[in-house]
Amino acid sequence: MHPYLDSALPHILAHQGLALNVEPNSLKAFTAALDAGADFIETDAHGTKDGVAVLFHDDDIDGVLLNSLMASELPEYIPTLHQALSKFPHVKFNIDIKNSEASEPVAEDINEFSAHNRVLITSFDATRRKAIMLLAPGTASSPSVKEFAPALFAGLFGQQWLVNKLLKPFDAVQIPARALGINIASPRLVTMFHKAGVLVHVWTINDPEKMSQLIHAGVDGIVTDRTDLAVSELKN
């Protein structure tokens, strides 16, 4: 198991921090989530025009693309990855790479802070994920949709050997509970993913009852907007 995942189960991943009264993906939201008991901070990275990795979900601000802006032009509440890794030196970050401009600066920050054991990289785009893995080898990762789909269908057809082969490069799979009418987090599929050597995190779950159902089905962690509810339901 990658050291990134060596934390007591179940894992609680704070989706954009805990943003009840503050901006999501802000340092204040991260602090609130950690104070509530989050194990990991789930966040999103974009690359700016001047090559800075910043933490923000959307592609644009008021219709202006982030990759067309300098980091200094962004609102103060949007942190850089460098600031987050510096402010929270022992916290584990789960980073979704949102644009191709983010890959190089994210890798540079991981390398600068020697944060390979406290960062997991994921992306809907396999190319972005692979670029970081080449630049910052040893960082934990989970597959893109394109990379995960073949493993899912291999699992549905009971081909454990193929699931093992397809998921071998990864440390975790981070998935919705359902998609296309398929119960992706069924006990049977979760068991197959575990046999392939990966942990299973499910997103984005805010209902405590559903959180408990998924943990009982065998999943290892919950990505949630409500760290406070998840900690109350799963940790107490």
Please say if 216 is a catalytic residue.
no
Instruction: Give me the catalytic one of 2, 57, 116, 194.
Output: 57
Please say if 201 is a catalytic residue.
no
Instruction: Give me the catalytic one of 2, 11, 15, 194.
Output: 15
- Dist. CA 34–CA 50, nearest whole Å: 30
Catalytic residue positions, numbered: 15, 57
